[in-house]
Amino acid sequence: MHFLVPEGIDDPRRPSGGNVYDRRVSDGLRALGWSVHEHAVAGQWTQPDAAARSAVGAALARVPEGGLVLVDGLIASVVPEVLEPAADRLRLVVLLHMPRDEAREFAALSAASAIVATSDWTRQWVLDHYALPKDRVYVVRPGADVADLAAGSPSGGRLLCVGAITRTKRPDVLLDALAMVVGPAWRCDFVGALDLEAEFADGLRRQAKELGLADRVCFTGPLTGVELERAYAAADVLVLASQAETYGMVVTEALARGLPVVATEVGGVPEALGYTGDGCRPGLLVAPDDPQALAQALRRWLGDPLERDRLRVAARARRLTLSDWSQTSRELSDVLSEVGG
């Protein structure tokens, strides 16, 4: 199997759910006995220039006739003119992390033998927006590595937000919400790349200062490995204010440590949050772009010890039901085997 991925998926300065997913399934497929040939394609995805499009074409040209090719959706969605001719000689599978809702993406997906969505929400979105056969669109959700339980503090005041500092993650909304949370002692760490939208990140620092929060929030930059583990271990709750998420891997990463989640009810987030066996949510969901609603949920978390205990119990129960990455790899292997015939 040949796997086309954006260059830099292992760059610790650019951690993302899509990059983690690509790396974990690539390694997982190898563990299952697949011969995986990775082709890291350089380019400004999602706005490729001629050189980037040429690089995709060259990578596909190296695949033998009838070869099976998995293409990361970040690449596939913007190069239909490259995929369409290749579809005549190759079996193309698009791994779609985030749909773009544009005609070029529809053309690219139409050229594929199969599309793998990373959540039920994404699959339904694709079927609602594009005239594609249902039997060509599969779901393979991300896995999660169950980790040591976060100890948690009595006050619940150690808040953690994990995600690149970009407009779609809406850290500005979270800052506005935090400014309304008066009284209880709390601190919020924002963990994520600061240079993807550097001007926006600079504005957030000014916003925090103007709101009087400069000594209660910290922008750490991206963390990986042991440093990220420490951030989760020190936290009480994950807070996610995103405007859009196709799944939200940070949600299951938090649940894998028994951390409850306060998040916006967007995209695949409710799916990732899930329920315990007795039907309890291990967190609180609020409307997006609504700092008042988010502030109310945070005040509920910080101000009610019984509510914190209830949510912690639910998060620890949900932790035991999470699927791991080996399950993700097995499900993707089944899709590839079916397409490969």
pLDDT-based confidence at residue 16 (cuts at 50, 70, 90): confident
Residues 313 and 169 in one domain: yes
Give the separation between CA 328 and CA 2, rounded to whole angstroms: 18
Give the separation between CA 137 and CA 292, rounded to whole angstroms: 38
Does residue 108 lie within any of the structural domains? yes
**8-state DSSP, 222:** -
pLDDT-based confidence at residue 46 (cuts at 50, 70, 90): confident
Determine the average pLDDT of the residues in 115-126.
Answer: 97
pLDDT, residue 99, reads: 94
Q: Kind of pairing, strands 217-221 and 187-191?
A: parallel
Residues 23 and 105 in one domain: yes
**Could you list the residue range(s) of the whole structural domain that residue 301 is in?**
158-319
pLDDT, residue 308, reads: 97
Whether residue 15 has pLDDT greater than 80: no
pLDDT, residue 13, reads: 76
Residues 163 and 136 in one domain: no
pLDDT-based confidence at residue 280 (cuts at 50, 70, 90): very high
pLDDT, residue 341, reads: 78
Does residue 26 lie within any of the structural domains? yes
Angle at the Cα of 16 from the Cα atoms of 130 and 178, rounded to 5 degrees: 100
Share the mean pLDDT of the chain.
96
Does residue 219 lie within any of the structural domains? yes
Q: CA dist 228 to 18, 221, 225, 234, 235, Å?
A: 17, 11, 5, 10, 11
Please report, for the domain that includes residue 126, its CATH number. Answer: 3.40.50.2000
pLDDT, residue 310, reads: 97
Distance of CA 170 to the CA centre of its chain: 15
331: its two tokens: 């499900």
Residues 16 and 132 in one domain: yes
Does residue 149 lie within any of the structural domains? no
Whether residue 314 has pLDDT greater than 80: yes
- The DSSP line for 117-128 is ESSHHHHHHHHH
pLDDT, residue 324, reads: 97
Instruction: For the sheet with 217-221, list strands across it.
Output: 217-221, 187-191, 158-162, 237-240, 261-264, 283-286
Whether residue 12 has pLDDT greater than 80: no
Per-residue pLDDT tens for 156-205?
A: 999 999 999 999 999 999 999 999 998 889 999 999 999 999 999 999 99
Neighbours of 258 (CB within 10 A): 24
SS3 for 67?
A: coil
pLDDT, residue 275, reads: 97
pLDDT, residue 339, reads: 95
Residues 41 and 83 in one domain: yes
Residues 105 and 221 in one domain: no
Residues 336 and 307 in one domain: no
pLDDT, residue 2, reads: 98
Give the separation between CA 133 and CA 37, rounded to whole angstroms: 29
> pTM of the predicted model, to two decimals?
0.94
State the total domains in the chain.
2
